């Protein structure tokens, strides 16, 4: 028999392909088609991706109603898409129950925020890396010229040969890879020996060495600005390009892994701990477990959880492709069928989890289903190939106290790779022959961290209404290795399901981390006397 505090979801928000919000997400699930689109980041290519539908402007009025007018522009200019998606999903989640926004604030440190990411905001990281690389090359080219480097003059005149000097790029075809590499090595070497650069750095050090005055904040800021102005004057005098260490925007720091959680804490005025759990594809389930543990241990009454991934990026796609897990034939790769690989997606999913008794006593109505079990484990086996025992350990932990026959449906991790067949085999060993499987990465693609959140949300939206949304699958399409196990799957018409049965969701992440979540629909008597939530009647998710 399960014991401990009951856990409910009291708000949720989504940014996904074709789905700027939870309402569109739910509506799109009613059709079996794919939400993927061609990727243009390489120019023409054969990749399909899940590109989020999102416009941050939609949240302008909501933010203006709570903060100074400059807040929105600061978020728009300083935050990358990873953070903005999370902000949008969080604001959506506050719309499900009137009054939950001030309630979360009133909890003080008993409201936590666990919102993470998969790869981080590769869009910001890549942009700033390119800025640094270009600045470094301009810098080295400037200081490595003979008139600013006396050792180079002596070397070229044959008066003091440097035996460690790399080959000079002269004579190579300009613009070739060999010429670029040789030029970079040559200029880096002589920049390090530049006497002019040594003089410049000595002057710059004198400017930077001046202490900040022990005075008011405005005086300190004035001192810092004065230093920057003197450095700019120094650069003008030397007529040198921008220093490479000044080329990278602080936006790189404002978009590290914990910033989505931090921004949610600031926007929601939530003063409990806010940080980023990171567990690749298992991340959302791990965040669920951490939240439930905190609530049941009495450390929190409510926890905002979520995951957010940047839009598909050439660097990400190249990495996945080289790992041999990406489809590249310009067609939708659906799990369980041809096993051609997965599709990269971006977006976010945010839930508000809470002590059901405490929040329902305040009149808040849960959305989706009750979460009754959660498990996590590590394979301790391989960085990308799942083991048999690792996922099963997470499943057993989540199913503790339940019999396999009580579980009606199971959502797979299923990445449309050969692992789909073994996942079915290993799952059936702990489930039963009549369980109905779903696998949705052919619908919205594979968000590195957010995919499990989308899949759980789809499961909750359907099961809470006694149905499983369709998948793009018809008879005869199963891969032979999958069909061998004689399992049951949702097809393109969807199906009804027992509205009192349990559902399960398994996620398996790079590095061998696993998470499993078991849920069941709320009973009518549990919800008596509670006000309708947004999803009980047609309504716009976002209210100004």
Any idea where the domains of the chain sit in the sequence?
A: 7-120+256-523, 125-246
Per-residue pLDDT, 535: 44
* Matching residue, tokens 């989640």: 93
Region 494-515: mean pLDDT is 96
Dist. CA 326–CA 531, nearest whole Å: 45
| Superfamily designation of domain 7-120+256-523 | Thiolase/Chalcone synthase (3.40.47.10)
What is the per-residue pLDDT across 364-423, written as a single tens digit (0 to 9) for each?
A: 999 999 999 999 999 999 999 999 999 999 999 999 999 999 999 999 999 999 999 999
Residue 156's SS3 state is helix
324 torsion bin: left (phi>0), alpha (psi -120 to 50), beta (else): left
What is the per-residue pLDDT across 55-71, written as a single tens digit (0 to 9) for each?
A: 999 999 999 999 999 99
For the stretch 429-457, what's the b/e string if a residue is b when 16 or more beta carbons lie within 10 angstroms of its beta carbon?
ebbeeebbbbbbbbbbbbbbbbbbbbbbb
CB count in 10 Å sphere of residue 127: 16
User: 171: pLDDT confidence band, cut at 50, 70 and 90?
Assistant: confident
- CA-CA-CA-CA torsion sign (307, 311, 313, 319): positive
Dist. CA 530–CA 30, nearest whole Å: 27
Specify the pTM: 0.95
74 torsion bin: left (phi>0), alpha (psi -120 to 50), beta (else): alpha
Residues in contact with 337: Cβ distance below 8 Å, sequence separation at least 6, in sequence order = 416, 442, 473, 477, 478, 479
CB count in 10 Å sphere of residue 199: 12
Per-residue pLDDT, 532: 66
Per-residue pLDDT, 4: 85
Distance, CA of 58 to chain centre: 21
539 has a pLDDT exceeding 50: no
* Matching residue, tokens 């979360």: 104
Contact present, 277 and 257 (Cβ < 8 Å): no
User: 1: pLDDT confidence band, cut at 50, 70 and 90?
Assistant: very low
Per-residue pLDDT, 212: 80
């Amino acid at each position: 028999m399960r014991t401990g505090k009951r856990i409910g979801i009291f708000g949720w928000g989504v940014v996904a392909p074709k789905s700027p919000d939870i309402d569109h997400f739910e509506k799109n699930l009613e059709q079996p088609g794919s939400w993927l689109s061609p990727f243009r980041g390489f120019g023409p290519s054969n990749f399909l991706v899940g590109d989020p539908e999102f416009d941050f402007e939609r949240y302008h009025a909501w933010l203006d109603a709570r903060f100074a007018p400059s807040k929105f522009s600061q978020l728009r200019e300083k935050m990358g898409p990873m953070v903005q998606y999370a902000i949008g999903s969080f604001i959506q989640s506050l719309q499900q129950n009137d009054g939950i926004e001030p309630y979360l604030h009133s909890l003080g440190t008993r409201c936590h925020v666990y919102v993470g990411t998969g790869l981080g905001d590769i869009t910001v990281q890549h942009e700033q890396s390119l800025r640094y690389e270009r600045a470094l090359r301009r810098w080295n080219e400037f200081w490595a010229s003979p008139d600013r480097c006396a050792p180079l003059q002596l070397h070229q005149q044959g008066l003091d040969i440097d035996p460690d000097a790399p080959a000079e790029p002269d004579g190579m075809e300009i613009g070739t890879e060999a010429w670029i590499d040789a030029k970079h090595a040559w200029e880096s070497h002589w920049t390090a020996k530049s006497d002019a650069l040594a003089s410049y750095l000595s002057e710059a050090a004198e400017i930077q060495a001046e202490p900040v005055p022990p005075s008011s904040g405005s005086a300190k800021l004035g001192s810092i600005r004065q230093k920057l102005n003197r450095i700019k004057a120094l650069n003008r005098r030397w007529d040198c390009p921008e220093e490479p260490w000044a080329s990278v925007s602080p936006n790189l720091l404002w978009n590290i892994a914990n910033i989505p959680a931090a921004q949610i804490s600031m926007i929601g005025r939530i003063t409990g701990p806010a940080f980023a759990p990171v567990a690749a594809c298992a991340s959302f389930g791990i965040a669920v477990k951490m939240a439930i543990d905190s609530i049941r241990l009495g450390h929190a009454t409510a926890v905002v959880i979520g995951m957010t991934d940047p839009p598909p990026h050439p660097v990400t796609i190249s990495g996945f492709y080289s790992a041999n897990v990406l489809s590249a034939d310009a067609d939708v790769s659906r799990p369980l069928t041809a096993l051609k690989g997965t599709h990269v997606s971006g977006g976010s999913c945010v839930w508000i989890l809470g002590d059901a008794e405490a929040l329902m006593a305040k009149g808040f109505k849960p959305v989706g289903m009750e979460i009754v079990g959660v498990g996590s484990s590590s394979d301790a086996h391989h960085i990308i190939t799942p083991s048999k025992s690792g996922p099963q350990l997470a499943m057993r932990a989540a199913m503790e106290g339940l019999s396999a026959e009580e579980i009606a449906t199971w959502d797979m991790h299923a990445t449309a790779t050969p692992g789909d067949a073994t996942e079915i085999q290993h799952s059936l060993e702990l489930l039963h022959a009549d369980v109905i499987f779903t696998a949705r990465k052919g619908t919205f693609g594979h968000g590195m961290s957010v995919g499990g959140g989308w899949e759980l949300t789809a499961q909750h939206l359907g099961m809470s209404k006694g149905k499983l949304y369709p998948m793009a699958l018809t008879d005869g399409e199963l891969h032979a290795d999958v069909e061998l196990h004689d399992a049951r799957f949702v097809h393109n018409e969807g199906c009804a399901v027992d509205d009192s049965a349990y559902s399960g969701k398994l996620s398996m992440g790079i590095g061998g981390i696993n998470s499993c979540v078991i849920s069941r629909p709320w009973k009518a008597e549990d919800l008596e006397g509670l006000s309708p939530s947004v999803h009980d009647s047609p309504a716009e998710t976002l209210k100004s």
